[in-house]
Amino acid sequence: MKIDIWSPLPPVPSGIAHYTQQVFSTGFEDFDIQFVDRAEALFRSDAVPIYQLGNNPYHEFIYFAALDRPGIVEIHDFSVHHLVTEMTLAKGDKTAYEYVLGKAAGERGISLAQKRGQKKPEYHPQLQFEMPLLEPFIRDAYHVIVHSRWARQRTKMIRRDAPVSMIPHFCQTPEESGVSADAREVVRKRLNIADDETMILCAGFVTPPKRIDLVLKALGRCQEAGDTKFRLVIAGEVMDPGVLRLIQKFPDQSRISMLGYTDEKQFDELFMAADIVPALRWPSVGESSGVASRAVGFGKRTLAFNLKAFADLPKACTDLISLGSDEEMAAQIAAAFSQQIRGQGRAVDQSALESYLSEEAGLGAVRQQYRQLFEHIADVGQQAVTDMRQTQLSVGRE
């Protein structure tokens, strides 16, 4: 069977690019797979297209291709609203924005688009998180792939009869990443982190929804309680000036190491060196988190909010933070940090984690789930492929 996987690929700095490369790089030799990573690429009319749909401008060409020639849609972020904003309003095209919201939500969508354009108080930025604009993709898709139970439920709410496969975001282990056994000691020595210091790793692009503000507030509480043996390592570009100012205001800058962008090898080594990984995201569009999945694969204690896709993370190594006021959430995070700093942090349940990786979310298990899906599609027959040839591609539009 011929399969065209539409996705950005490395070196594009996208989590989905990394995901596509890692999952499909091996184990599918008996399928004729071609990667399509740009609008100008040729497509095969007899291939099944799989669209790796994301919520940033790297996925603009995929957005149009999936609308023009429906196929299998893989939803990583349960929203394309931010992408639509970049494609329309960011370019001064209010009419196109109104059109997209109208296609997704009818008159209500058009009304909200107009209120946003007029900067009326009835429009709230939270709508970008609550109005996903995925309806046209889900309605026409031959099959939908999601990475969480929550996303599967949301897909069924949009289209009750949608064929949906829930395949977890893969959790890569240190062995699969090729990280050397001494990486922990090497990295900690390079960053001057003492053996008795707790390394707290915040990884990936640093934006307001990653809630670095709560991490800093929690660490302030730790210091007040006398729990000062920690190092906060921030590995990722700081995308918001307000977040940068918060980091710079932290009283003891010696407790913070800001590394900026790191390549994949350095990224993996940092996870090897870490003791605890906050993978916080609020507000959230229900995205699957490469940071959380990597932390789990590396067997690190992981902190995440108890909502949407994050609620599926294994209890073997995950502390789920209940949503509440900023003070309440910071208190929960601070309690986890203090436990770790004092050497009283709960141990990772290695047996349960190994079962989770081998049966559900390890790289091998995830590849097997994709193979089963591809084999099922192949069994359906050529007619299904023929049905997906209805329209020609018209991507990279003005």
190-202 exposure pattern, b = at least 16 Cβ within 10 A, e = fewer: eeebeeebbbbbb
Is there a single domain that holds both residue 301 and residue 375?
no
Dihedral sign for Cα atoms in the order 64, 65, 67, 73? negative
Per-residue pLDDT at 196 exceeds 90: yes
CB 39 within 8 A of CB 68: no
Is there a single domain that holds both residue 206 and residue 343?
yes
Q: What is the largest CA-CA distance in the chain?
A: 67
Is there a single domain that holds both residue 287 and residue 347?
yes
What the block records as the tokens of 397 is 């539009």
Mean pLDDT in the chain?
Answer: 91
277, part of any domain: yes
Q: What is the pLDDT of residues 108-166, one digit of tens each?
A: 889 889 888 777 666 677 777 778 999 999 999 999 999 999 999 999 999 999 999 99
Alpha-carbon span 241 to 58, nearest angstrom: 23
Classified as helix, coil or strand, 11 is coil
Average the pLDDT over 193-213 and give the result: 94
Write down the pLDDT at residue 105: 87
264, part of any domain: yes
Write down the pLDDT at residue 43: 77
Residue 72: name the closest of 394, 299, 388 by CA. Answer: 388
Is there a single domain that holds both residue 30 and residue 152?
yes
18, part of any domain: yes
62, part of any domain: yes
Average the pLDDT over 381-393 and give the result: 49
Write down the pLDDT at residue 291: 94
Question: 374: domain CATH number?
Answer: 3.40.50
**Domain total of the chain:** 2
306, part of any domain: yes
Is there a single domain that holds both residue 234 and residue 376?
no
Is there a single domain that holds both residue 296 and residue 152?
no
Question: 284: domain CATH number?
Answer: 3.40.50.2000
CB 281 within 8 A of CB 215: no
CB 25 within 8 A of CB 398: no
Per-residue pLDDT at 395 exceeds 60: no
Is there a single domain that holds both residue 26 and residue 62?
yes
How many CA atoms lie less than 13 Å away from 234 in the CB half-sphere? 24
Alpha-carbon span 194 to 217, nearest angstrom: 23
396, part of any domain: no
Write down the pLDDT at residue 149: 95
Is there a single domain that holds both residue 154 and residue 273?
no
Domain of residue 53 covers 2-80+132-170+362-387
Residue reference for tokens 């939270």: 126
Is there a single domain that holds both residue 71 and residue 159?
yes
Write down the pLDDT at residue 229: 97
Is there a single domain that holds both residue 156 and residue 197?
no
Query: CB neighbours of 203 closer than 8 A, spacing ≥ 6?
Result: 235, 236, 267, 270, 271, 277, 291, 294
Burial class (CB in 10 A: 0-12, 13-18, 19+), 249: exposed
Confidence of residue 392 (pLDDT cuts 50, 70, 90): very low
Confidence of residue 286 (pLDDT cuts 50, 70, 90): confident
Backbone angles phi, psi at 349, to 5 degrees: -80, 95
CA distances from 304 to 58, 206, 319, 382 (A): 26, 16, 6, 43
Is there a single domain that holds both residue 304 and residue 212?
yes
Average the pLDDT over 34-40 and give the result: 91
Write down the pLDDT at residue 383: 59
Q: What is the pLDDT of residues 320-376, one digit of tens each?
A: 999 999 999 999 999 999 999 999 988 999 999 999 999 999 999 999 999 999 998
344, part of any domain: yes
125, part of any domain: no
